[in-house]
Chains A and B, each alone.
Chain A
C-alpha cells in the first residue's frame, strides 16, 4: 500500500507543483481583495439603481459554483470577446471575482463598524469623498478584518485544485500524472492531501495568533 522509496521519489515534483497552488492562491486573493473593496465601496456609496444591480450580480455569483464560473470564463470569453487568457490568469481572475463577492461582505462589516461620528466629522471638515474614504474610513475599517481576510486566503488555497479543470498544472493534476505513469496511486494523492493539511493548519494557526494580537491592541 505505502512504498516509502516511491513516496520520497515523487515529493520534489509534488512540492514544485504545490508552489503553483500557493502562487495561484495569492494572486487570486489579491484580485479578490481589490474586487471586494470596489464592490463594498460602490455598494455603500453608489446611486440606488447601481447598488441594486450590484447586489443582484453579487447574489448570482455567490450562489453558483466556482468550477462552472471558471469553465464559463475559460471556454466562453474567447468566443465572446477578442481576449483569450492563460489558464493561470483565468483561474486567478475567476477566484478574484468569486471570492471578491465574499470579501465585499467582510469589508462591509468593517466599514459599518467605524463609528458614525467619523463620517460626520469628515463631512464637517469638508473633505472630498475620495479623501474621506482613503484617509479616514478605510484605515479604520481594514485592520480589524485582517484575520477574516486571512481565513479567506486559506479557503482560496484549498480551492486551487479546481483550477486543474481548466488545464492549470497544479499539485492535484501533477499527482494524477504521476499516478498514471507509475500505476501507484496511493502515495501521490496522499502526499497532495497532506501538503494541503499542513499549509492550511499552519496558516490558521498564524491567523489565530494575529487575531489575538489585534484584539489585544483594540480592547
Chain B
C-alpha cells in the first residue's frame, strides 16, 4: 500500500534518470516528490519540504556535502540513517549495485520506506539497461558505417561486387577470429596511410 503523505527528495544530476524515478514514485501514489539536480539547492529545498527520504546517485561527488549537511541540519532534528537500516545489508547491496544511495530520516518505519527504495532501485536498474541498449545501438551503427567504407575500398581497388567484398571481409574476420568491424577499421586505416 502506498503511503501518499511521505515526502521524498531525489537528487540526481541526470535529468532523464531523475524523471524516471519521479514518475515511478508518482505512479505508486506518492504525491510529495521533489527533484533537484544540484546539491547546492539542497539547503533551501530541505528547509521547504523537510523530506522523510532522500535519494542521491552514487556518481554524485557531492555525497560528502550532503552527509555533512544532514549532520548539521536544523531542519532535520534527528540524525539520519542511510539505506533504511544498518541491518538491511542485502538492501544496501542492491542499492549500491544500482548506483543509488538513500538517506532516511531516523525513526521512520522501514516498512514504509522499503517499497520506495525497492522502486527506486528497479528504476535505476531500468535506466542503466536503457543506457546500455542505447550504447549498443550506437556502436552497431558505427560498425555498419566503417564496414560500408571498407567494402567501398575493396570494390574500388579489387574490382569486387558488393556481395563479394562483404564476403571477403567476413571470411577474413572469421579466419582471424576478429570482429568484422575491426577488420574493416584496419583496412580503412591502411587505405588512409597508403592512399594517394
Asked if A pairs with B, the answer is no
